[in-house]
Amino acid sequence: MIYALIAAIGLSLFIYSITARQLDRAELTAPMWFVLTGATIGLVLGNMEGGQQALAVDINGLQTLLPIIELTLAIYLFSDAAKTRLRVLSHSFQLPLKLLLGLPFTMILGAWVAYELFHLSWLACFLIAVIITPTDATLCKTFIQDKVVPTRLREAINVESGLNDGLCIPVFLFLLGVLAERMQATTESFAWIFIREVGIALLVAVILTGIIIWLLKRAYQHHYFASKTSPFLFVGIAFLVFSATQALHGSGFIAAFVSGLLFDKYYRDEFKDQLIEEGEHLAEFAAFMIWVVFGLSASVVLFQVTQWQVWLYAVLATALFRLIPVFICLLGGGLTTKERFTLAWFGPKGLASVVLTLMLLSEELPTGLQITQVAMATVLLSIFVFGLSSRPISNWFSNRSERE
């Protein structure tokens, strides 16, 4: 059965490769395509004799994919940050800060609605809220890359997406530790985790990035490597920074993103963007496989959902939990209503939420399955809602007055 599964994935990759332009015109993004592929495989295998048992084994072993998903996310965070134009961001740094200001209010709103719908403990409800709060800018790639959209909006969403992934990790680890009774719920313990995760991340990012940039400049001067043909260069850097930070018990996601920002600021190379793009191709391939597995998993896990509250929560989490707090936080900032709505709307849930869900599954908590179902339903809905809404919202900014 494993070879039949691999053959189906290979066929999906082939079809996507030869029809990418047509799929794009049909507003079918790559994550949508590969999630649908995984779900179709799951449904077909599930109806075969012995298929449900084989799928159950695959789902139980899903945690083994956690390092791959983490590294894929680290590459995206590094490359997104390395392409950030800090000159633009320096003139509108208030926007990412205001977006991040909405982060705790988004968590509180998500936890309160979870408490009302599922009647779980407050700890479990906040855990649900933290899992579905981080955003994934790659799911609204059409909007991020559209040049007719004001640059400050695109950069603000990109930067906020990179930072909120890392900032949610310490909160998640604290709540998970308390729920698993490995930690006391005190302000001191939370502050220690947060300071440790962020502090170590910043320290490792600065030191390693400084050393790497110096080595790159020396290697370039002495012609040690062909700068136009080094697709693994930035992948290796992202792996190194992320993994070294994780080994020291820091937030590898923050470290990867900060390292990318430092590269954008201090590393000048005419082939830098090309190298980053080549590294992203490798990350995209891994992401495609992850979305196939996610679609397959969702077809099994969500097939068991009988609570209508799970889907209601997913709809509210996708449409309102971020929109309301962020829109309020952006009031009085000199933005138009259209710009405020755009910044508040784009908060797709993606790889970061999948990472946190798998970390939760490894603890085998009593409420773990229900939390997993809520998270999977939210991510699944988010992939399609934000994938389909990216181009229409980009078109708002397509006339000459908006560009100016």
Q: Is the pLDDT of residue 57 over 90?
A: no
Of 40-44, 174-178, 373-377, 385-389, the range with the lowest mean pLDDT is 40-44
Taking each continuous run of H as one helix and of E as one strand, the counts in the chain are 20, 0
Q: Is the pLDDT of residue 55 over 80?
A: no
Q: What is the mean pLDDT of residues 259-288?
A: 82
Residue with tokens 């799970």: 310
Of 79-83, 254-258, 261-265, the range with the lowest mean pLDDT is 79-83
Contact (Cβ atoms closer than 8 angstroms) between residue 63 and residue 358: yes
Using CA atoms, how far apart are residues 261 and 299, in angstroms rounded to an integer? 38
Q: Is the pLDDT of residue 402 over 60?
A: no
Confidence tier at 62 by pLDDT (50, 70, 90):
low
| 196 located within any domain | yes
Nearest Cα neighbor of 120 from 388, 385, 371, 395 is: 371
Nearest Cα neighbor of 382 from 285, 280, 294 is: 294
Task: Give the domain range for residue 124.
Answer: 61-397
Which pLDDT does position 342 carry in this prediction? 93
Collect all residues with Cβ–Cβ distance below 8 Å to 369 and sequence separation of at least 6: 301
Which pLDDT does position 5 carry in this prediction? 75
Percent of the chain with pLDDT over 90: 36
Using CA atoms, how far apart are residues 360 and 113, in angstroms rounded to an integer? 20
Confidence tier at 79 by pLDDT (50, 70, 90):
confident
Confidence tier at 46 by pLDDT (50, 70, 90):
low
Taking residue 51's Cβ as centre, other Cβ atoms within 10 Å add up to: 15
Which pLDDT does position 332 carry in this prediction? 79
| 87 located within any domain | yes
Higher local confidence (pLDDT), 315 or 268? 315
Q: Is the pLDDT of residue 271 over 80?
A: no
Question: Which among 216-220, 313-317, 344-348 has the top mean pLDDT?
Answer: 313-317
Q: What is the mean pLDDT of residues 126-154?
A: 88
Q: Is the pLDDT of residue 322 over 90?
A: yes
Q: Is the pLDDT of residue 11 over 60?
A: yes
| 314 located within any domain | yes
Higher local confidence (pLDDT), 263 or 334? 263
Q: Is the pLDDT of residue 400 over 50?
A: no
| 48 located within any domain | no
Model pTM? Answer: 0.87
Helix boundaries (H) for 19-150: 20-25, 30-46, 51-60, 66-82, 86-91, 94-118, 122-131, 141-145
Which pLDDT does position 384 carry in this prediction? 94
Q: Is the pLDDT of residue 162 over 50?
A: yes
Q: What is the mean pLDDT of residues 318-336?
A: 90
Instruction: Provide φ and ψ at 147, rounded to 5°.
Output: -70, -15
| 271 located within any domain | yes
Q: Is the pLDDT of residue 246 over 90?
A: yes
Q: What is the mean pLDDT of residues 47-72?
A: 65
| 94 located within any domain | yes
CATH code of residue 346: 1.20.1530.20
| 252 located within any domain | yes
Q: Is the pLDDT of residue 266 over 80?
A: yes
Higher local confidence (pLDDT), 223 or 227? 223
**Total domains in the fold of the chain:** 1
Q: What is the mean pLDDT of residues 160-164?
A: 87
Higher local confidence (pLDDT), 200 or 25? 200
Which pLDDT does position 60 carry in this prediction? 54
